[in-house]
Structures are given as C-alpha cells and as structure tokens.
Amino acid sequence: MSDSQGTRFGLDVSRDDLAPHAVGTGLFLLAYAMLLRGVELGRLYAFGDFVPYYGGRAFAKFLGTWHEGGLGFPYVYNVMPAYLGTVTAVGGALGQNLFYLALVPAGFAAFFVFAGRFVERPIPRYLAAAVYAINPVTIGEFVNGGVSTLIGFVGFPLIVHFLYEIDERDTWRPAVLVGVVFGATAIVPWLVFWMIGPFAAYFAYRSRDNLPKLAKFVASGGLGVVLSLPNVHHILQRAAGFGDGDGVLWTTLQWNYEQADPLAVLRLAGNHGMLAMNQLGYNTDPTMVIGLVIPLVALFAVERERLRLYYAIAVGCVAFVSLTWLQLTYPLFETIPLFWSVRNPAKLQYPLLLSLSLLFGAGLETVLHGTRAGTLAQGAFDLDAHRSRASDARDPLIRGLLVGLVVLSLVAYAAPAAGAFGLEGVRGDDYAVPAEYETVADELDGRALWVPYGYTTQLRLRDTHPNHVGIKSGGLVQGIPNVEYVTHLFEDVAAGDPVHGRLRDLGVQYVVVESDPPGAYGNGAPRVQSKWGSPWLFGDPATLNARFAESSAYERAFTTNGFTVYRVTGVPDRDRVVQERGLHALVYSESTDTEVVGENLLANPSFDDGTGGWWTPSNESGRTTEYVGTSGGGGVELAVDGDTQPLPVAQAVSTRDGYPYRVDVNATGAGVATLYWYEGEKSPDSLVTREVVPLSAFPQAVTAKGDTLSIRIKPNASSEIRVRKVTVARSTYPAATGFTANGEGIPGVVVDGRDDPPENATVVAVNLGAEAAADADATVRVVDAETVLDGQLAFNDTLRQGAGIVIEEGERPDAVPDDARLVTRETENGTVLDYWVAGEFDETPVTTVRTSYAAGWSGSPDAEHFRAQGWANGFTDTTPEEVAWTGGGLRGLVVRVWLAAWALTLLALTAPPVVRRLRERYDDGGSTDLP
C-alpha cells in the first residue's frame, strides 16, 4: 500500500504499526462475538422489519406486482429483496444470517476509516468506532430487524469521508465514490437524506465560490439518486401523499417521541418506538445514566475548530428531538410534509451518533495524549496548559478515573445486549423461522388461510409460503387496495360466520390452524386487531380448530408438527387468472335492525330486586358492587380502584345453538360485557368461545354458539360503571349485510352496485323489498328465506347466509313469487330453502385476475377493465391469455435507467486503473502501441 493510499482511506499505517490495529480490531470482534453468543445460525431470521427473502422468491418479489405505489413493487424499499435474494441464493439461510450479523462490524470498520481524519491515536479511534458500532441505537435497530437502516448506517461514514475527499482533492473519483456508496446503501433514502443533509449543506456552502468543486458535490448527489432510483422514486411518491392517513402519522409521531427527553437523546436512547429501548432497560434502568459519559468526554474536544460542524449537528439533533418531545415543533409537521420523514427520531439519532462518536474519540484523545502536530496545524488547541498539568502527579490518577468511566459506559451500552445481541432479551426464541413452517408449506400446493395470523406469522410466511392470504404491515398506509376485503374476511372468521364462499372465490385451497402461534396471537376469543394499518386475526387455536372441524365445507387434510391443515371443499385447481361467468352489480339492504320475538331471558334484568339472580363478587378492598336507587330507577354500581382486579356481575341463560338473539346492556361508564358460550354445563371444559364487547357497542345481534350463554359485565381498570338494565331475548334472524356477505351464492363476478359499476353489469337486488328493488332498477332479485319466512330454522355454513328454512318436500311457501326459482339444500334436518331468485343471472364470460386492483393490468383492445369483488381486476371480452401487466411503462424505464447507471459507473471506476496498468505494462516492454 502506498503512503498516499493509506492516508486517503484514513489508515496511514506501516508494517511496524500493524500490531495495535490488529489488537484493536481483534478485541472488538471478540467483544462482538461475546455479545452474539446464543445467536442461532442456519435458520432464516424473521423478526421486526427483517423479512426473510429467500433465493429466487426474492427476485419474484422485486419484479412482481402488488399495488400502484412504488412502481408496482410489492415491497416498500424496493431493492431490499434483491439484496437478500442474492445473499440467500448463494449462501442459503446461513448466508442471510452472516450478512445480517456482519453489518455491525462493517459499520465499525467504516467509521474507523472516517474517524482517521480527526483522531490519530489508535486507542481513542478504536473506542470511538466501538461506540459507533455498539450503542442503544444500533442494538435497537438490530433487535427491531432494521436491516435496511443498518445498511445505511454502514455507508454513512464512508459517504462523509468521500465528501471530504471531494473537498480536498482535484479529481472526480471521490464524487463517483460518493454516488456509489449512496446508491448501494441508501435502502431507506429518507434516513440517508437526514444523515447526509447537514454535511452536504456544509460542503456546498464552503464551495459556493468554487464552481468546479460545487459541480462535483452536485454531481455526486445526482449520481447517488440515480443509483438508488427505485427506492428514491418510491420515497418521492410517498412524499406526495403524506397528507393521507394523518391520524396514523400523528399517533406514530407522538408514540415515537414519548421518551425523547434531552438526557435520553444524549444517551442515544430517545426513541420510544424501538423495542430495545425499554425492554433492554435503556430507558428504565437508572444505571443507564452512565451513558452520559460519552457526550461528556466529547466536550474535551470543544476547542478543535475542525470539529465545530459536529458540535453544531449534535446540538441541532438533540434540540429538534427534544423540542418535538415537548410538541413545540408540531407546526413544522403540519406545514412542511418533509418533516413527516422524521416522525421516528431514529433518523436524527444517526447523524447524532456519528457526531457524538467522533467527538468522543477526539475528546478522549485530547485528554489521554494531547493532539499531534499534524492535527493542530488544522485546529486551534493550546497544549501548554495540558502539558503543564501532565507533570502533575495527580494527572495520571485523573486520567485513570476517566478511562475507568469510559470503559464502564461502554460496558453499560453493551451489557443489555449480552446474549444474542439483545435478541433473546426482546424476541425470545421467535427470531428464526421454525423448520415446521417449511415442512407444512411444502405440502401445500395452493393458496392458504393461516390462523391465527399476526405480524410474526406473516414475516415467517413471506418466505416459506408466499401464497398465504393476508396483508403486510402498513398495508393501509401504503395504499394496498384489498385491506378492507381481508379485514372483513378475518372479521367473519373471528365471528364464526361462513367464509368458504369467499375462500373459494379467492382460490384458497387450504386453511392452516397453528396450535402454538408466536407471541400472544393464540390468546383469547377469536378477534381482529388492527395495527400499522393492517388486520391481524387473533384467537384461541382450539376454538378456530373446532369451527373448521365441525363444518362440512372443510375436510381435514393432515396434521403435523402442531399444524392442522383443512382442505376447502369445492375449490378447483386454478392459476392466478381464471374464467368466470357473468358480471353482476349488487344492491342490498344496509339495515342491521332485528325484531325481538321473545321475552327477556334474564332474571331480575332491571335490578328491581337488588342483585337477586345475579352472581356478584364479595366486597373486598378496592372493589365495590352495590345496588343503587335513583329517581330514574335502580341499578347496580361497580367500581374498582388502582390496579385491583375488576370483578363482574354475571348471569347465565339457556339458548338454542345457531338461533339469533338480541343482547343489550343499558349502562354508563367505561367497561365491557363478555359473552361466554358453553356447550352443555357451564364449566371451563365446555367453553366454546367468548366475545368481548365494549358497553358502548350495545345492542348486539348475535347468533348462539352453544346452548348456554353467560353474560358478565365489569368496569375497566380504575373506573366505575352503573348498569341499569340487561336484556337477552330471541329475535328475528339478522341477515348478514354488506357487500361481501350478500355476494355469497351469486355466480360470476360481483361488483358493488353503489360504486358506479360498469354499464354492462346486471343489477342484482339482495334482500330488498319489491319497491326498493324496482327503484334500484334491478333485473334479478335474491331473497334469503330466513329473512321473510316463518318456520323452523336450519343452520349450516354451506347455506348462503348460514341459515335457511326447513320445508316439506315439494312445498312452495306462499310468500315466494310464482316466477322465482327456489334454491334448496338437502341437510340432516331435511330439505332446507336457502334462497330464491327472480330473474336470470347473466352468463357472459368474464375474466378476473386474483391480485390487488391496479390500472396497470390490460386485456384485449375491446375489453372493459373494472374493479371486481372490491379489490381484484375484472375484464369483459377478454381471455385469460390476453390479460397482462403493463405497469404503465414507468417501472421498466426506471429499472433500465438504474441498471444502466450502475453499469456505466462501475465501468468508470474500473476502466482507468485497468488502462493505467496496461499502459505501464506496455511502457515496461518498450511498446508504443497504446496512445
């Protein structure tokens, strides 16, 4: 290595100086290896934001289509699948593991190169690099799966290093290197923008009177943008839509900054949104205050002129984050959309991290060694006072204490990460994909609904079974069109309503019930929870398992390794593009009113006899349950103080399984009523399911899920409620309302008649009266028997709404029009009238594409393209072979420009050295053939 090369990259070492560098690097790697002990190798990691893209599937993700945003790419940071796809295609799961684990050491090495510009002594320089590599920010990103962010963390110091090279050297090569490092590491352009922005502004200002140098800075930035074009294009798209979903953005902003007080920010732990901050104790353990030693040591370099930029950046980052914690910067977020990109303070903690780490190294060098002449020539530090103090006998003691504090602070930064670098402390053993997922997925040759379904499950399935039915995190925010569809599907699964028709329509061939899902997904009653704009399906696997096992619409396929797989009956093998018959626009009733047809089944529903007939808890400290009488009538008052467990009032009644009931709770205050359904006696062993309903959500129309209902009413923690009257009574059968429910049983492609359907669609009225159907200009009427006919109800989820009316063979009820066609089913109860149809369904061939709706799909020139089933793509006058993705052409252009730019840039970097070596070779041989 020549002297010029060594100085350029901040190494400047001779053979005699290699020993301290080898020791410093070896000690860091040893410490890192100790922190990683217990990390699992050889299984795909899948946790937080770390998606386990695997081999060729990753490139399908990169080139596939999902929604109109992000050029039609299926992933927010578009190039990331290609990165991990390359790694896993070459090294498999172990390659993915090593790639991820190598990011922290790579950041250590990159910072060490950069810091050589300011810190010359090995010990302070290596300690500063260790602070940059291992600290609350990087540990938090590691256990949060922030692979995209950690790649930017690696490239950040090198970009700044090459910016200095542009300023110092009269050559274009550093400008090209800035663009290359930016293009390769700016997976999250917003992050790198906030990292590089202050330095770019500084150098642009310095070179304002030197146009050639300013041109290099501008060109380096432009090249970086082009070399990361797919990701930058997505960010620009997002910037134009920051006004969408303001509520989610404000909630995220407030949450992330909740613990970003000045001391937490200075300790690099001012981010509530990162799991490691709290769960590893950075914001909860008082001993973590030792982390303030890092910024305190940084103050010892305050007189170095060349470091004033870093003090300014550090002060600016701490000030902005702290002022946002106090909500004083909120007007900026309201008026300048750019600031929404820092709704997570981690983006500002990276420039703060680089600045503090560098200042820490410079301060430590100042205290321990003074400053070398080479550095002093560019600074303004007076060594006279330091040298005089150095002769003082107390000075070694003071410096020894300082070194002890520094070591203690470094240990404090790293100690919470001991063992799997914090993964075990935050994730437990959930950070790797169990082999059982792949075992089950290998047996499934079609689409599958996986229940329960949560964020961790989704991450695991993205690799092992890409054909699962679900929505990725952030789906609503990113504008994926079928979030609503999947939400309704999950809600009906949770409620126990029939969904097999929609599963068939989606081409779902399997339902997989996971008996031991990760996290808390398997706890409690089946329910849908929405987080990050996406629906998750939670619930006790035993309950979900029982529902599918008891339904004739599903048959058990196999059970293995804690997974029970059901095959959805009647689903033909089909590709993504399938042929359907007819195009129908649905018009339906939105009324959910039900009529009470029986008396209240509860004893003493208005508490006229005090609490007689009700189960009430004993009065204990912090809990009260008492009858209260007022001028408006009686009631029971329940109160709970502090953390005391709230206990309910409760009563059980007999019900008829499958029959409709109307439940109402007239109460004031914050609380819930839980409906427990039992089959047989009221005991834990016979519990079928339970439903938790907020008091504000009553009355509720429910379908009995057992022959005993126990209703239990209790206040929320630290609150009080007053219950005046409770009602459980038989009612008319509540016909399912809404587009998806009323579309059951209608052949062909169904679109919502309320959303400007295609002109050639046949209008179908569902459960509308004759007058309302005429007003809708409906050609076809569909009426569910149980909505208008008296008679014995029969329940089976193969029926259109899950219920029908038992009729004698050959019977035609008087209420059915003479021109209507009856649709009956043969069940164990006899012949059941499901529904009747007046009019004829359209039989025109229609093609649908089972992917989220996007205008980029096209059919034949004569085709009409429309939104089918609320989310899919539909075409008239088109065969499946004629349907293709066009993407509007923009994605292809962007990708071609991006790839061409990389090819030309790499050629520009490699060609001159090759030409120079060839020239030298020919010159040595005396040849003059080369110009």
Phi, psi of 134, deg, nearest 5: -125, 110
Q: Which helix (H) or strand (E) holds 823?
A: strand 820-827
pLDDT of residue 572: 73
**Residues paired with residue 47 on neighbouring β-strands, in sequence order:** 50
The candidate with the shortest Cα–Cα distance to 86, out of 77, 76, 96, 78, is 96
Query: Is residue 564 a contact partner of residue 512, using CB atoms and an 8 Å limit?
Result: yes
Q: Which helix (H) or strand (E) holds 448?
A: strand 447-451
Does 466 sit behind a cis peptide bond, omega within 30 degrees of 0 on the bond before it?
no
pLDDT of residue 382: 47
Q: Which helix (H) or strand (E) holds 437?
A: helix 435-443
Q: What is the DSSP letter of 452?
A: S
pLDDT of residue 256: 84
pLDDT of residue 567: 93
Instruction: Report the chain's C-alpha Rg in angstroms.
Output: 34
Q: In the chain, which residues have pLDDT < 70?
A: 1-16, 61, 63-77, 234-248, 370-395, 397-398, 471-482, 532-533, 573-576, 592, 619-622, 630-632, 642-643, 717-718, 887-889, 891, 923-931
pLDDT of residue 323: 93
Geometric angle at alpha carbon 828, from 823 and 829, rounded to 5°:
75
Concatenated DSSP letters for 305-352?
A: GGGHHHHHHHHHHHHHHHHHHTTTTHHHHHH-GGGGGGSSTHHHHHHH
**Residues paired with residue 654 on neighbouring β-strands, in sequence order:** 708
Geometric angle at alpha carbon 658, from 654 and 542, rounded to 5°:
90
Do the strands 649-654 and 708-715 form a parallel or antiparallel pair, or are they unpaired?
antiparallel
Distance between CA atoms of residues 112 and 358, nearest Å:
10
Phi, psi of 80, deg, nearest 5: -55, -45
pLDDT of residue 369: 76
pLDDT of residue 3: 38
- Burial letters 602-636, b for 16+ CB under 10 A, else e: beebbbeeeeeebebbeeeeebebebeeeeeebbb
**Residue 331 identity:** P
Distance between CA atoms of residues 88 and 97, nearest Å:
9
- Burial letters 659-682, b for 16+ CB under 10 A, else e: bbbbbbbbbebebbbbbbbbeeee
Three-state SS for 661-707 is EEEEEEEEECEEEEEEEECCCCCHHHEEEEEEEEHHHCCEEEECCCC
Contacts of 503 (CB under 8 A, 6+ apart): 449, 511, 568, 571
Query: Is residue 801 a contact partner of residue 793, using CB atoms and an 8 Å limit?
Result: no
Distance between CA atoms of residues 27 and 793, nearest Å:
76
For residue 546, give both structure tokens: 């029982």
Query: Is residue 301 a contact partner of residue 290, using CB atoms and an 8 Å limit?
Result: no
pLDDT of residue 373: 36
pLDDT of residue 29: 93
Helix axes 173-185, 211-227, angle to 10 degrees: 30
pLDDT of residue 102: 96
Query: Is residue 422 a contact partner of residue 276, using CB atoms and an 8 Å limit?
Result: yes
Overall residue count recorded for the chain in this entry? 931
pLDDT of residue 67: 45
**Residue 378 identity:** Q
Contacts of 925 (CB under 8 A, 6+ apart): none
